[in-house]
Amino acid sequence: MAAPILVFGHKNPDNDAISAAVGYAYLKNELAKRAGSDAVYEACRLGGLPPETEWILGENGIEAPRLIESLSEGQQVILVDHNETLQSADGLDAAEIVEIVDHHRLGGLVTAQPLRFNAKPVGSTAAIVAREFEIEGVELPRGIAALLLGAMLTDTVIMKSPTTTDFDRDIIARTAAAVGVDPVEYGMSIFKCRSNPAELPVDKLVNADAKEFELSNGNKVYIGQYETVDLQAVLGREAEIREAIKGLVADKGYQFVLFFATDILAEGSQFICEGDTDFVNRAFDIDCTGKSVWMPGVLSRKKQVAAPILAL
Amino acid sequence: MAAPILVFGHKNPDNDAISAAVGYAYLKNELAKRAGSDAVYEACRLGGLPPETEWILGENGIEAPRLIESLSEGQQVILVDHNETLQSADGLDAAEIVEIVDHHRLGGLVTAQPLRFNAKPVGSTAAIVAREFEIEGVELPRGIAALLLGAMLTDTVIMKSPTTTDFDRDIIARTAAAVGVDPVEYGMSIFKCRSNPAELPVDKLVNADAKEFELSNGNKVYIGQYETVDLQAVLGREAEIREAIKGLVADKGYQFVLFFATDILAEGSQFICEGDTDFVNRAFDIDCTGKSVWMPGVLSRKKQVAAPILAL
């Protein structure tokens, strides 16, 4: 049997990173069978399972993808939900990227060989994966459909995020119909099954969905988001959160760490920033130095937070 | 009316770069109409028309795309058949790339925003464009079909290049059936309508299908290919070709210029290299310093020439 081609999302995986990997590995295995190829695809993950992913996997009897730390030389991989080395597995430079499925900006990757790159500016990678099942005419099993639907709903904050497009709404409607659920109700049940933010250890809160980025000046920063239906429980821990992200600035040499808690009901986010806050203040014309700032309407890290900072 | 979004292929356009731009702009305009959008897409080109493209455009009554030199700030563009700044229009850094359709390696592009990136490791960009007509359910007019078919056949050297995949063979068969031609005969008629290489001005020969690349050491090189059914007519001009590419090395500061003439009947290429030939000698374990070398089986610049050099 051929060595498996590993399919994985970014470090600090969110629901989309895990679900898209599981869904895409399933699709690629079906396509390989159809083509009579002996290629095997294995879904993996680069970090812990988010609580909502654990719940959906369990509900649908799907095994959690294998946790990997680094890649061996020449390992063939498919990246989902990311295309930047900084956010990927250690050893990526010596691996062979055979394919990318993503919905983020281009991060400067260079390859020696052509590859399949399927990116769309839509709300989730799961939506692109679900669409590929339709294009290829591969039947979407109910469990995989539920998993992808869950990721489409968390990544678009139940279609409230400005990253949500008609493409997302259409494929969410078709997938929800296939699963037999109402998408908004299903989305709320997923957000509610997240751990209580008052009880979560602070490092889990701060790192739950956080990514490294490189500023135009070459310095690295860390931007984390926590989406919740209970913002006050998060804000009650501001002092503790500030200590934790100050620690990250010191330990990792980040120019700044920006943590923001998104209230999916009130549709806005509270910014908490430590380190040199200059880029954040300039990008949003705010003063978040030493104090937290409420940002109405800000729901998307990619489109509304990272993009303005990285454009400076 | 909205300002047109420009759709163009790489500098020194080959048949695929022009045809894919014309075909994709047509498709995007049809999709915009269907969506009730007022977006307008205009095919452009960054250089002269190859003779075979001029012939196919004329045969099918399609207007040649507009020649552009550089982009104004904020101009929205779609790149086809390339994804590297070096190969693109001047001013790309200040333009907004909204989409990429390509079949080349990733060249390190960084964007601030997510975009649609549709790349596949197949023989031509035209094949990817033709497939998009099928996926979107847009009727392919006979003239556009003939144009895309011609590009699929020149870019795969009538399906002889090792870059040719089942994806290419399938879409070539379906498109040839739609046009009502035999693909091999149609391909030969296209290659034969190229100018006689004995009569072509030497700078046209050398620059006909040439691209800049950046080596791992940061130096730039220039690699050009001329596909022909009359290799001897090209090789009879070796001294003249050497003078021309020596001139390019001196004028542009390239580490080397590699020109190779591909005999599509004998299925191989003759390498002629000037400048510091070290990378070329090492990549292929040959000695092309001061003398030309026959490389049997080498038909693809991307897969068999650029890739081994850039991997050093």
3-state secondary structure chain A: CCCCEEEECCCCCCHHHHHHHHHHHHHHHHHHHHCCCCCCEEEEECCCCCHHHHHHHHHCCCCCCEECCECCCCCEEEEECCCCHHHCCECHHHCEEEEEEECCEEECCEEEEECEEEECCCCCHHHHHHHHHHHHCCCCCHHHHHHHHHHHHHHCCCCCCCCCCHHHHHHHHHHHHHHCCCHHHHHHHHHHCCCCCCCCCHHHHHHCCEEEEECCCCCEEEEEEEEECCHHHHHCCHHHHHHHHHHHHHHHCCCEEEEEEEECCCCEEEEEEEECCHHHHHHHCCCCCCCCEEEECCCCHHHHHHHHHHCC
Q: Judge whether residue A93 has pLDDT over 70.
A: yes
Contacts of A109 in chain B (CB under 8 A): 106, 108
DSSP output for B170-182: HHHHHHHHHHTS-
Question: Tokens in use for B272?
Answer: 């002629």
Q: Judge whether residue A159 has pLDDT over 90.
A: yes
Cα A295 to Cα A95: distance, rounded to the nearest angstrom: 40
Cα B306 to Cα A113: distance, rounded to the nearest angstrom: 9
Contacts of B103 in chain A (CB under 8 A): 114
B202 contacts B165 by C-beta, under 8 angstroms = no
| A116–B105 C-beta distance less than 8 A | no
Cα B15 to Cα A224: distance, rounded to the nearest angstrom: 46
A119 contacts A103 by C-beta, under 8 angstroms = yes
Cα A194 to Cα B300: distance, rounded to the nearest angstrom: 52
**A interface mutation test: which of B77, B83, B96, B113 has the most A CBs within 10 A?**
B113
| Minimum-distance CB partner of B135 among A116, A135, A311 | A135
Does A109 touch chain B if contact means CB atoms closer than 8 Å? yes
Contacts of A117 in chain B (CB under 8 A): 102, 106, 117-119
Q: Report strand pairing: A220-228 vs A256-263.
A: parallel
3-state secondary structure of B28: helix
Cα B117 to Cα A222: distance, rounded to the nearest angstrom: 26
B33 contacts B41 by C-beta, under 8 angstroms = no
Distance from CA of A179 to the nearest CA of B (A): 24
Cα A303 to Cα B124: distance, rounded to the nearest angstrom: 32
Contacts of B106 in chain A (CB under 8 A): 109-111, 115, 117
Place of tokens 């009554």: B61
B167 contacts B141 by C-beta, under 8 angstroms = no
Contacts of A88 in chain B (CB under 8 A): none
Question: Which residues are B220's β-sheet partners?
Answer: B214
Q: Report strand pairing: A116-119 vs A96-102.
A: parallel
Q: What's the confidence (pLDDT) of residue B105?
A: 94
| Minimum-distance CB partner of B116 among A115, A120, A303 | A120
Task: Kindly report the backbone phi and psi dihedral angles of residue B270, in degrees, each rounded to the nearest multiple of 5, phi listed first.
Answer: -100, 120
Mean pLDDT of A241-261: 96
Distance from CA of A289 to the nearest CA of B (A): 25
**A interface mutation test: which of B83, B97, B111, B279 has the most A CBs within 10 A?**
B111
| A307–B112 C-beta distance less than 8 A | yes
| A114–B302 C-beta distance less than 8 A | yes
Distance from CA of A113 to the nearest CA of B (A): 5
| Minimum-distance CB partner of A119 among B103, B105, B117 | B117
pLDDT confidence tier of residue A146, bands split at 50, 70 and 90: very high
| Minimum-distance CB partner of B114 among A104, A110, A135 | A104
The letter for the amino acid at A189 is S
Cα A136 to Cα B116: distance, rounded to the nearest angstrom: 19
Cα dihedral sign, A61-A63-A65-A68: positive
Return the number of CB contacts < 8 Å for A and B.
Answer: 77
pLDDT confidence tier of residue A70, bands split at 50, 70 and 90: very high
Cα A26 to Cα A43: distance, rounded to the nearest angstrom: 8
* Cβ-based neighbours of B34, under 8 Å, separated by 6 or more: B138
Q: Judge whether residue A77 has pLDDT over 80.
A: yes
Does B312 touch chain A if contact means CB atoms closer than 8 Å? no
Q: Using CB atoms and an 8 Å cut-off, which of residues 130-169 of chain B contact chain A?
A: 135
Cα A17 to Cα A88: distance, rounded to the nearest angstrom: 11
B255 contacts B285 by C-beta, under 8 angstroms = no
Contacts of A283 in chain B (CB under 8 A): none
The letter for the amino acid at B206 is V
Q: What's the confidence (pLDDT) of residue A1?
A: 56
Please tell me what DSSP assigns to residue B302: I
| B113–A118 C-beta distance less than 8 A | no
Does A74 touch chain B if contact means CB atoms closer than 8 Å? no
Other C-beta atoms lying within 10 Å of the C-beta of residue B73? 9
Helix axes A142-155, A15-34, angle to 10 degrees: 140
Contacts of A118 in chain B (CB under 8 A): 117-119
Other C-beta atoms lying within 10 Å of the C-beta of residue B76? 17
| B119–A117 C-beta distance less than 8 A | yes
* Cβ-based neighbours of A136, under 8 Å, separated by 6 or more: A27, A31
Residue B147's H or E segment, with its range, is: helix B142-155
Q: What's the confidence (pLDDT) of residue B238?
A: 96
Cα A54 to Cα A67: distance, rounded to the nearest angstrom: 14
Distance from CA of A163 to the nearest CA of B (A): 10
Q: What's the confidence (pLDDT) of residue A191?
A: 87
Other C-beta atoms lying within 10 Å of the C-beta of residue A259? 28
Distance from CA of B262 to the nearest CA of A (A): 21
pLDDT confidence tier of residue A137, bands split at 50, 70 and 90: very high
| Minimum-distance CB partner of B111 among A105, A113, A303 | A105
B53 contacts B15 by C-beta, under 8 angstroms = yes
Contacts of B311 in chain A (CB under 8 A): 112
**B interface mutation test: which of A113, A167, A215 has the most B CBs within 10 A?**
A113
Cα A175 to Cα B85: distance, rounded to the nearest angstrom: 39
Q: Judge whether residue A212 has pLDDT over 80.
A: yes
Cα B131 to Cα A249: distance, rounded to the nearest angstrom: 48
Q: Residue A252, Cα to own-chain centre: how many angstroms? A: 21
Q: What's the confidence (pLDDT) of residue B198?
A: 83
Contacts of B34 in chain A (CB under 8 A): none
B143 contacts B61 by C-beta, under 8 angstroms = yes
| A121–B120 C-beta distance less than 8 A | no
Question: Tokens in use for B63?
Answer: 């207007």
| A105–B110 C-beta distance less than 8 A | yes
Cα A17 to Cα A4: distance, rounded to the nearest angstrom: 19
**What Å distances lie between residue A128 and A24, A184, B258, CA to CA?**
10, 20, 40
Distance from CA of B51 to the nearest CA of A (A): 27
| A108–B108 C-beta distance less than 8 A | yes
| Minimum-distance CB partner of A106 among B109, B118, B302 | B109
Per residue of chain B (312 residues), give pLDDT as tens.
578 999 999 999 999 999 999 999 999 999 999 999 999 999 999 999 998 999 999 999 999 999 998 999 999 999 999 999 999 999 999 999 999 999 999 999 999 889 999 999 999 999 999 999 999 999 999 999 999 999 999 999 999 998 999 999 999 999 999 999 999 999 988 988 877 788 888 998 999 889 999 999 999 999 999 998 889 999 999 999 999 999 999 999 999 999 999 998 889 999 999 999 999 999 999 999 999 999 999 999 988 999 999 999
Q: Judge whether residue A2 has pLDDT over 90.
A: no
| B119–A120 C-beta distance less than 8 A | no
- Chain-wide mean pLDDT for chain A? 94
| B113–A105 C-beta distance less than 8 A | yes
Residues in chain B: 312
Question: Tokens in use for B287?
Answer: 């000695």
Cα B154 to Cα B127: distance, rounded to the nearest angstrom: 12
List the domains of chain B with CATH numbers: 5-192 (3.90.1640.10), 202-310 (3.10.310.20)
Does A112 touch chain B if contact means CB atoms closer than 8 Å? yes
Place of tokens 């052509």: A114
